[in-house]
Structure 1
Amino acid sequence: MEIGSFIELEFSKGNELFKGEKNIARLNSGRAAIWHAFRVLVCTAIWLPYYQCDTVRNFLYRKKARVKFYHIDASFRPIDLIPDADEAVLLVNYYGVMSHQRMKELASKYENVIIDNSQALFHPPIKGCMNVYSARKFVGVPDGAYVIGMDAEKYIDEYEQCHSSDTSLFLLKRIEYGCEGKTYQARLENEGRIDTEDIMKMSKLTRTILDGADYELLCKKRRKNFEYASELLGKKNRLDPLKYYSDDCVPMVYPFVLEDDDLLKKLLDKKHFQGHWWSYLLHEMAEDSFEYWISRYVIPITIDQRYGEKELEYITDIIG
């Protein structure tokens, strides 16, 4: 027991979103959480959508998993997903705007389902599925992920403990220096650590921060900002983010699509630091595919709890 010495950072306690130890795994990253869920299901292969971050497939390849791929249509429905009975399926809650009912309907068509809620931290776990969550897309933590589902805690004792404090300084630098310059370089160090790490138990630092987060405020602000962004930009948006949206959604971003290749640069020049997601697909997908189109044009508009109407109006003015 340590007593005395200097005073460390203090956080509130008891607020962790997912509590307990049964049917829950706390891990270091979303990509590792997907592999863990696949491992718990004991399947021979896993189907991923092409429209997905390449860090997921790369991690699965590193773990020698057998990976298959499927396309999605403009309504984010699988169109060539035909798994065998012993194969797992990854279904993604894109942008966090897919309702619980929508994801349940998709999951009901398959046997061994992993719901990727990396973009939907507050999406209720679907019974009978493995549900994966990524914390750092919603809360200021260096890493961290959850797997919720039957026997999710299996194999946890085999994993080493993650230590994230060595590369977490970017979170403090952001407060004093903003997100450019030395802060950006510090964040890249953290991203590099995550990219090279194996699956590990969630760090104590991450869990401590998550245990003190104000999730009620977080949900309220994100929903309010998303709905205001819809009011401001909905008529211009080539995508309909409200199609499957419901009261149980807490989105990660407002996905905005305008067929303007210059728009991203305009936003970056005005310090709206978002980019096209998964642009690697522009080199892998056919130009007439939905994956190519959405990767080329979608801009995830920031709607998180730090901001409000003023910032969204500023972004809208830039878009014009």
Structure 2
Amino acid sequence: MAIGGYNQLPLISLNTQLGAEAYQFQSARAALYAYLNAAKIKTLYIPNYICDSIFPALKSLTVDIKFYSVNEQLLPVICPKLTNKSNSRILLVNYFGLLNEQVKTLTALEPELFIVDNSQALFCEHIDGTTSIYSPRKFLGIPDGGLLRTAEKINMPETQYDASENVGHLLLRAAGDVQAGYVRFLAAEQALECFIPKEISVISAHLIKCADINVIKKMRRRNYEILYNKFKSLNQLQFPVNDHVPLCYPLKLGVGVTSICRTLIDKAIYLPRYWRSDYSGEVGTSMFENTLFLPIDERLSEDNIYALSDIIEQRIEYEYSR
């Protein structure tokens, strides 16, 4: 322990343990790369509704990509049948952290054949026998991080990710300068495009220890439930919260949402879009075009959530009336 010298941020460690049994990398895509490389996977079956960020890593490893379709409930229309089980895997996405039980059912018979992408489901328990990948920076204020749970032996890289130049967006956002922080956020995201595995940064490892996981879980569930009850009759997706800790509240409408999102920006409400991709099938395209992904994180009070829901309701009524 160093004593004296310059000051530090007043971050109090709660000794939070997250992914203690996992291999810890700088990103989820690096974790996926590490697993596929170690397990010598040659063929990967992927849903046709997914983020493009994984494809450079797959192409680098010359993995043969085969797509399967998902239905309106974001589950495989038909689960792929593997002809070569030793070097083929099926990637299942736990969309928005809302498909825990469905994923358990799908992987029950031959769990070793599945990679469960829990990038949007940080608090979903690892299923024995499967390989699981997590992205804690989607839930926590950290600059990098990707967790891998697998029975495969992984040789961890000797190099540690340096996040010292990629924390500015977190500090600016905390200080209230969202616009300046967004520029830094894009730069931080770009830095993580390199999928060559590195160990998680010392900064993220420490910030994880300072996170109050119980509060995060409680607030996300509460906020999701408020929005679920508010929009239940309107939403074309019906995912009750149950024991999930969701990433967001996906509100799928019968109209396009691009104009709504643009209008919300003027009110300083920034919604992500999941995902614009050349690989998306009909369901994926519909999700991108017609779904509002509403925030539910622990920074939002009940009053914030009710105010947000009122604004969203007004914009939806306007769009339907046009």
Instruction: Note if 1:102 corresponds to 2:102.
Output: yes
Q: Structure 2: which 5+ residue stretches go unaligned?
A: 314-322
2:20 match: secondary structure: coil
Q: Residue 234 of structure 1: CA displacement?
A: 1.3
Q: Aligned partners of 1:5 and 1:63: how far apart in 2?
A: 46
Q: Residue 266 of structure 1: CA displacement?
A: 2.6
> Could you list the per-position Cα deviations for residues 114-163 of structure 1 after superposition, in whole angstroms to 9, with x for gaps in the alignment?
111111111010000111110111110011011112245x211x352111
Task: Quickly say closer, same or farther: Cα 1:53–1:310, change in 2 above 3 A.
Answer: same
Q: Aligned partners of 1:254 and 1:226: how far apart in 2?
A: 6
Counterpart of 1:308 (choices 279, 301, 304) is: 301
Q: Residue 197 of structure 1: CA displacement?
A: 5.0
Query: 2:320: which partner in 1?
Result: none
Instruction: Note if 1:259 corresponds to 2:235.
Output: no
Query: 1:17: which partner in 2?
Result: 18
Structure 2 counterpart of 1:246, one-letter code? N
Contact 1:135 1:144 in 2 (8 A): yes
Q: Aligned partners of 2:98 and 2:3: how far apart in 1?
A: 47
Structure 1 counterpart of 2:169, one-letter code? F
Instruction: Note if 1:134 corresponds to 2:135.
Output: yes
Q: Aligned partners of 1:66 and 1:160: how far apart in 2?
A: 28
Q: Residue 246 of structure 1: CA displacement?
A: 2.5
Q: Between 11-20 and 199-208, report the one with greater CA deviation.
A: 11-20
TM-score by length of 1: 0.89
1:46 match: secondary structure: strand
Q: Residue 285 of structure 1: CA displacement?
A: 4.4
Query: 2:319: which partner in 1?
Result: none
Contact 1:267 1:315 in 2 (8 A): no
Q: Aligned partners of 1:15 and 1:231: how far apart in 2?
A: 32
Q: Aligned partners of 2:198 and 2:305: how far apart in 1?
A: 37
Instruction: Note if 1:318 corresponds to 2:311.
Output: yes
1:200 match: secondary structure: coil
Query: 2:56: which partner in 1?
Result: 58
Instruction: Note if 1:162 corresponds to 2:161.
Output: yes
2:192 match: secondary structure: helix
> Could you list the per-position Cα deviations for residues 270-310 of structure 1 after superposition, in whole angstroms to 9, with x for gaps in the alignment?
222113211224xx546xx2122112111210000000222
Structure 1 counterpart of 2:107, one-letter code? A
Instruction: Note if 1:246 corresponds to 2:239.
Output: no
Counterpart of 2:209 (choices 208, 211, 217) is: 211
**Residues 82-101 of structure 1 aligned to structure 2 (within 5 Å):** 82-84=81-83, 85-86=85-86, 87-99=88-100, 101=101
Q: Structure 1: which 5+ residue stretches go unaligned?
A: none
Q: Aligned partners of 2:151 and 2:238: how far apart in 1?
A: 34
Contact 1:41 1:112 in 2 (8 A): no
Structure 1 stretches (4+) deviating beyond 6 angstroms? none
Q: Aligned partners of 2:220 and 2:17: how far apart in 1?
A: 18
Task: Quickly say closer, same or farther: Cα 1:104–1:165, change in 2 above 3 A.
Answer: same
- Calculate the aligned-residue CA RMSD, in Å: 1.9
2:251 match: secondary structure: strand
Contact 2:49 2:284 in 1 (8 A): yes
